[in-house]
Amino acid sequence: MSIIPLISSWEQYILTHPSGDLREFGRWLQQDYPPPAETDPMPVARHSLATSANLNASAASTLLINRLNAINHHLSKPIIRKLGLKDVEFGVLVQVHLLDKPNKKELCDRLLIEKSTGVEITRRLAKKGYLRETVDPNDRRSARLSLTEKGLRLLKDGSSSFKSIHENFLVPLATDQQQQLVAMLTRLHEYHSGRVSASDRE
């Protein structure tokens, strides 16, 4: 007999009775509370791509990250289309906002795209009125990118539409598990970003 339902009940009880003890928990169990579903807080997917392929942890994690990225892309595409943009165009607007007035090289490096591609995309977005270019005061041969008021409004509208996707993406994980996941992904991002930068310098 699995003890998981009992553990789940204890977790449910302690959330509403933080000062409760085991004796009070026993009384609480005897009352007419519906028993929690028998679920593992960290279940192994029965039809996981990674487990079915019998991969090691590194290969499995890469496969799963790619799959999750594809799912996020699938969910996001209708919203981006409704905004009248292509996926990469919306990504450019997001990164320009996050990087705070990047030049085109910095933007292309962050997005891992060719400079010619970045130039074409920023030109399109500027023509639509979402981006502006200003001369870099430290290097007059270079230009800095920023969002126009129209671009900021579009990004705000997009962020509002994405809210439900973002809020539901990590729902299967408890709050502490979400924080651990973000910390681990941040570490991976920093490590592999360093690898990409090093390879570009070679």
Give residue 153's pLDDT. 95
pTM: 0.68
Within its chain, how far is the Cα of 92 from the centroid? 16
Residues of the chain predicted below pLDDT 70: 1-23, 25, 27-53, 201-202
Q: Are strands 139-147 and 131-136 parallel, antiparallel or unpaired?
A: antiparallel
Give residue 39's pLDDT. 47
Give residue 12's pLDDT. 61
Q: Give one DSSP letter per residue of 39-85, joined into a string.
A: --SSPPPTT-HHHHTT--HHHHHHHHHHHHHHHHHHHHHHHHHHTT-
What is the Cα–Cα distance from 98 to 92, expressed in whole angstroms? 10
Give per-residue pLDDT as tens, 79-136: 999 999 999 999 999 999 999 899 999 999 999 999 999 999 999 999 999 999 999 8
**CATH tag, 76-161:** 1.10.10.10
Q: Domain map of the chain by residue range? A: 76-161, 170-202
